[in-house]
């Protein structure tokens, strides 16, 4: 993967002593077939059409130190390339074959694949999901070997075969901004948004809480005076609310406590997906957080070839520090006010990223009185010409 991408650079707010935000971008080169001999390798260098090429952008927001984010920035693209090379022949076929070797054990195999609705983009989604899993395993081994700790979220965008894939594990965000449209391309994973999944895990495996936490959610932390009273609550199977009589066990610390930016998993983490944290424990306990964390991303697919793209159509990717202060609409307003008047500036997308970060400092289009004290990293990706 090439690390040079002339129109884009990462912008960081430099709010922390150690930069826990990391980024990577470049060109993905995926071999179309297995090459075993040195002669084939030399021939391939002269015939780049034997590569399937795409582009890759990634943001990693670290916590507990920069180690996991640095490892992710140096590792994930390699994991993704390997996973894509494992399925590339299926991606290039008119329909992904049942057997990649080309043999046909059952004459109805194509029909079974068609009935499942399996398309080439599903192989890319699977490659992203497998790459995230592989990267998390690599980070776990590397952190243990080096005696380091920490974790990070991951937000990745890949343009391949005329489609944009956005894979998110954490609370960073990507949006598509067009002249007359704002389209969310990711979903934030926090203890609040994944409450039911986390509660259900605690229901199935109550030993994970070691008797120290209650999995139930209440509007506030219960007190001794609440004993015997009927109060609002909800459990893993509930999106609505009900009432229950408070028991002694309900007074334990909640599995998920707080709301909004203050919500914490087991009183420790503000995110529920990402890489690392393999040995993170709740303070002064032997309770591990990793069983509650997922490295699995949610993948959104955008068919770029089907959009009548304009020069000002961009994807804005940013870590949560930006979105804590600016809404999607405020970001879109800044994009639309800046790009049309700066078409001749070759660095306009990097400059726009700088403007977005500047707007989180309580000036310009930022919410009145709101300032972000988090590290902020931003990519502004032009989609015109990416199809």
pLDDT tens track for 44-74: 444 455 679 999 999 999 999 999 999 999 9
CA 275/CA 296 separation, integer angstroms = 9
Pairing of strands 253-254, 213-214: parallel
Residue 240: exposure state from Cβ atoms within 10 A (0-12, 13-18, ≥19): exposed
The answer to whether 174 touches 166, Cβ cutoff 8 Å, is: yes
In the β-sheet with 377-382, what is the strand arrangement from edge to edge? Answer: 11-12, 377-382, 314-318, 173-178, 181-184
Kindly report the average pLDDT of the chain as a whole number: 89
Cβ–Cβ < 8 Å for 73, 24:
yes
Q: Is 370 helix (H, G, I), strand (E, B) or coil?
A: coil
Q: Give me the residues paired with residue 266 across strands.
A: none
Does residue 33 contact residue 89 with C-beta atoms inside 8 Å? yes
- The DSSP element (H or E) to which 154 belongs, if any, is strand 151-160
254 neighbors 213 (Cβ within 8 angstroms): yes
pLDDT at 384: 82
Tokens (6 digits) for 247: 């028991």
Per mean pLDDT, which range of 2-16, 93-107, 121-135 is the poorest?
Answer: 2-16
Residue with tokens 């996991």: 68
CB 81 within 8 A of CB 33: no
204 near 191, Cβ under 8 Å?
no
| pTM greater than 0.85 (yes/no) | yes
Backbone angles phi and psi of 154, in degrees to 5: -145, 130
Q: Where are the alpha helices (DSSP H) in the chain?
A: 38-46, 67-85, 88-92, 109-115, 120-146, 195-204, 320-323, 328-338, 348-358
DSSP three-state, residue 137: helix
Residue 355: closest CA among 314, 387, 305: 314
User: Which residue did the predictor score with more confidence, 387 or 193?
Assistant: 193
Phi, psi torsion values for 142, nearest 5 degrees: -65, -40
Confidence category of residue 77, pLDDT binned at 50, 70, 90: very high
The pLDDT of residue 228 is: 97
Q: Which of 35-49, 299-313, 354-368, 369-383 has the lowest mean pLDDT?
A: 35-49
- Report whether 58 contacts 125 (CB < 8 A): no
SS3 of residue 52 by DSSP? strand
């Amino acid at each position: 993967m090439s690390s040079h991408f002339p129109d884009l650079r990462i912008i960081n707010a430099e709010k922390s002593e150690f930069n826990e935000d990391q980024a990577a971008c470049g060109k993905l080169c995926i071999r179309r077939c297995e090459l075993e001999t040195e002669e084939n390798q030399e021939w391939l260098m002269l015939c780049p059409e034997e590569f399937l090429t795409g582009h890759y952008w990634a943001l990693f927001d670290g916590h507990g130190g920069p180690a996991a984010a640095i490892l992710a920035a140096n590792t994930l693209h390699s994991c993704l390339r390997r996973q894509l090379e494992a399925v590339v022949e299926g991606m290039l076929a008119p329909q992904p074959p049942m057997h990649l070797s080309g043999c046909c054990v059952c004459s109805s195999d194509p029909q079974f694949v068609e009935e499942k609705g399996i398309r080439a983009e599903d192989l890319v989604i699977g490659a992203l999901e497998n790459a995230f899993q592989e990267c998390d395993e690599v980070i776990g081994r590397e952190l243990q070997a080096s005696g380091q700790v920490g974790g990070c979220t991951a937000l990745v965008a890949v343009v391949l075969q005329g489609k944009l894939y956005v894979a998110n594990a954490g609370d960073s965000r990507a949006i598509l901004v067009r002249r007359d449209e704002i389209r969310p391309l990711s979903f934030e994973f926090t203890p609040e948004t994944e409450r039911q999944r986390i509660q259900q895990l605690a229901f199935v495996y109550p030993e994970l809480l070691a008797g120290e936490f209650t999995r139930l959610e209440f509007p506030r932390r219960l007190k001794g005076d609440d004993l015997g009273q009927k109060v609002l609550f909800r459990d893993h199977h509930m999106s609505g609310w009900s009432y229950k009589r408070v028991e002694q066990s309900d007074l334990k610390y909640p599995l998920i406590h707080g709301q909004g930016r203050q919500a914490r998993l087991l009183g420790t983490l503000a995110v529920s997906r990402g890489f690392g944290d393999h040995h993170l424990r709740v303070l002064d306990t032997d309770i591990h957080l990793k069983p509650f964390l997922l490295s699995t991303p949610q993948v959104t697919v955008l068919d770029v070839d089907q959009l009548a793209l304009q020069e000002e159509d961009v994807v804005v990717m940013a870590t949560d520090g930006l979105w804590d202060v600016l809404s999607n609409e405020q970001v879109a307003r800044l994009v639309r006010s800046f790009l049309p008047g700066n078409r001749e500036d070759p660095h306009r997308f990097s400059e726009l990223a700088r403007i977005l970060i500047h707007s989180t400092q309580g000036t310009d289009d930022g919410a009145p009185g709101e300032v972000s004290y988090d590290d902020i990293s931003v990519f502004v990706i032009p989609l015109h010409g990416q199809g």
